[in-house]
Amino acid sequence: MTIELTNRQELILKIVKDEGPITGEQIAERLNLTRATLRPDLAILTMSGFLDARPRVGYYYTGKKGNQLISETLNKILVKDYKAVPVVIKEEASVYDAIVMMFLEDVGTLAVIKNKGILAGIVSRKDLLKAAIGKQNLQEIPISIIMTRMPNIITCQLDDPLVNVANKLIHYQIDSIPVVRPFDGLDGLEVVGRITKTTITKAFVELVNEKDI
C-alpha cells in the first residue's frame, strides 16, 4: 500500500521538519488556517508515520520514508473500528423531507437508499440548496431527481484502512463517505455506516491520547 500526500500535507511535513517540535496551533498559524481544518491532515500524517506527537510538546518529523511507514499498526486502523451510524433517507422521499432530516440529524450528507437498504445515491447540502433556489414546490420534488448516483459516489468498505478513506475525504473535498458492503442475493451495495471528518479527528485524538497538542 502506498500513501499519496496532498500538497497541503507535504507543506505541513516541511514546516514540522524545519521547525519541530511544533504544536498544531502553530502549524495552523503558519498556513493561515484554522486548527479544525488541519486536523484530518495531521491525523493522516500521524497515523501514516510521517509525524509523531508528544503531549504538551507537539509534532515532530520522524524521518521515516517509503516502506518504513507501512506498519502493522497502520494496517490495523480500519474503517469498521471507527464507522458511525449511517444517516439514510428513502429515494421516494421529497427534497423537503431531506432538508428536514439533514437539519434534525445535523449532518452535511444523506445516503439515499432503496429497497433492503441498498445505496441509490448521495445528497449533500449543496444539492439541496440548488433545489431550494428554484420556484418549485420542494414537497413535490423527489430526492432521486437531485441526488448523485453510482458510479459517481465515493464509497469505502469495512476493511479499508482508515488513512485511505481520510485521503479520499480531502482529495474529493467531501464531508462524508458511506461505508458499504455487497448485498447477498441482490445487485448493489448495502449502506452499513459512514466515515466523516469528525471520525478522522476522533481516531487522531485516540492515537495521540491527548486532545491539545
Q: What is the pLDDT of residues 101-128, one digit of tens each?
A: 999 999 989 999 988 889 999 999 988 9
What fold, for 7-75? Arc Repressor Mutant, subunit A (1.10.10)
Contact 81, 74 (CB under 8 A): no
**Is pLDDT above 90 for 90?**
yes
User: Where are the chain's structural domains?
Assistant: 7-75, 80-195
**Among the listed ranges 5-14, 96-105, 127-136, 187-196, which one has the minimum average pLDDT value?**
127-136
Residues 6+ away with beta carbon under 8 Å from 63 = none
Q: What value does the mean pLDDT of the chain take?
A: 84
CA angle 202, 207, 208 (to 5 degrees): 105
Q: How far, in Å, CA of 112 to CA of 127, rounded?
A: 13
Residue count (the chain): 213
Contact 183, 190 (CB under 8 A): yes
* Residue 74: predicted pLDDT: 58
Closest C-alpha to 178, from 92, 91, 85, 102: 85
pLDDT digits (tens, 9 = 90+) for 164-206: 898 898 888 888 999 999 887 667 899 999 999 888 888 777 7
Segment holding 58, helix H or strand E: strand 58-61
Q: Is the pTM of this model over 0.75?
A: no
CATH tag, 80-195: 3.10.580.10
